[in-house]
Amino acid sequence: MSKQLPIIDENLPANAPPQFHLLAKPSGSTCNIDCTYCFFLSKEALYPNEKNRMSDSTLETYIRQLLESHRTPHVTVAWQGGEPTLMKVEFFKRSVELVEKYRRPGQTVEHTFQTNGILIDDEWCAFFKEHDFLIGLSVDGPREIHDAYRVDRSGHGTFDKVMQGWSHLQRHGIRFNILCTVNAVNEIHGRTVYRFFRDEMKARWIQFIPIVERATAETIDIANKGWSERPGRKRLLYTQTGNLVTERSVGSKQYGQFLVDIFEEWLRHDVGSVYVQLFDVTLEAYFGRHLLCIHAPTCGYGPALEANGDLYTCDHFVEPKFKLGNIHETHMLKLVASQQMRKFGDDKQDLLTPQCQQCEVLALCNGGCPKDRFALSRDGDSGHNYLCSGLELFFLHTRPAMRTMGRLLQQRRAPSEVMAITAAEDEKRGPYQNCSCGSGRKFRFCHGDMTPNSPFTGIRSAT
């Protein structure tokens, strides 16, 4: 365990967490595109009379308090949106200057930046390279998949513009990872999506986020049309209420099969060379380490900061009842350590349904994200995870391979040796037996096919 730094102000709570991962949104919910499933666009309704741009005063307060709050040597300054590139390069140059001003002896700071990539150019890349920013690029797959929901304000697909931004990152050697949503369009194309990222975009770190848009009987028709502002109607504020989901939302079982489809490809070819977030954190969970809030026993360590300094419990709970306070009025460490925040985090464990408590993969899943707990369990209990059947499918399916990798690690051997073990099992089973992914297809024509044809357009047609 790394040595903890002391609390630098005796007025700050000594029982506060030594570290947390805060997402800061310098442009609020404002974005230069209009993704149909992006309910974050609706959050501007919380600040109807404010300019969604972080002031220099708020920026300095944020950076200073973030560095003061961490007692671990490593601190992440994470920028998200909306779209952070709307703030221009100068804003982030100032943020780096402030980090150097307030960074304490022994602290190392990593800068991360989530973007749709459209405004990325040589100027941005020179800045990212100079300060070693890690860039998260939002892409949902090949052109036809990506353009289904990730559109501009005229309804046109954004794939070509995103690939232009990606090409700038490539030319400048910028570290990047992919953030891909899993939705009603790409849920049946897991392996194709993964291969596109790996082979065409040369991605080596990939994160998959399920799209689950909640709605009530009263709001479902509006929600199905998207979260854009439309003439003649007020923008609907998205809140975590309702037990219905939009037509864009991924199906529960489909989400699990999407992950299994990718896992079977990764297991045969990419262990140790491509890092899929959920696969990595699942393996860690076999050793009792929970590195992702979604599948940790408790949460409450991932607050979200709006442009005016308002701090919320989580990026998925930016709504009035989950507001902790404002960092101009109360130090962020006091807000993160507050009873409200701790209860929010502990409720993740305390409100598990009996079905969850008795589940054989509880130690891996821990009930999933609270935002998705609006379904009924098999016994009719409310507050069960909508994605349960898919998560259960994934954790059960991957258990044999995960245990094998765990044993390899305990023997001080590389987990990548599982690929040779899997290849031997494939050869023993034969090419005309059903594929282990559960698709029902013969192995030779499923995950045994080394060069499957993609029905979608590649990057070369985009640039």
Closest CA to 217 of 238, 194, 196, 243: 243
Q: How far apart are CA 444 and CA 263, in angstroms?
A: 17
CA dihedral 348, 210, 234, 243 (to 10 degrees): -50
Which CB contacts under 8 angstroms, 24+ apart, belong to 345-352?
Answer: 345/298, 345/299, 345/300, 345/301, 346/298, 346/300, 348/296, 348/297, 348/298, 348/299, 348/300, 349/297, 349/298, 351/383
Catalytic residue among 152, 160, 280, 315: 315
Q: In what order do the strands lie in the sheet with 74-79?
A: 275-276, 205-210, 176-182, 134-138, 108-115, 74-79, 23-24, 304-305, 310-312, 323-326
Name the residue with tokens 């950076």.
Answer: 63
Q: How far apart are CA 280 and CA 197, in angstroms?
A: 17
CB 137 within 8 A of CB 83: no
The widest CA-to-CA distance across the chain, in whole angstroms, is 68
Distances, alpha carbon 171 to alpha carbons 14, 92, 127, 234, 351, in Å: 46, 21, 14, 43, 48
Q: Which runs of consecutive H residues, i.e. helices, occur in 270-338?
A: 277-285, 332-336
Contacts of 243 (CB under 8 A, 6+ apart): 214, 216, 374, 375
> Is 315 among the residues known to form the active site?
yes
CB 210 within 8 A of CB 253: no
Q: Which runs of consecutive H residues, i.e. helices, occur in 122-227?
A: 122-130, 143-149, 159-172, 190-195, 220-224
What amino acid positions are annotated as catalytic residues? 315
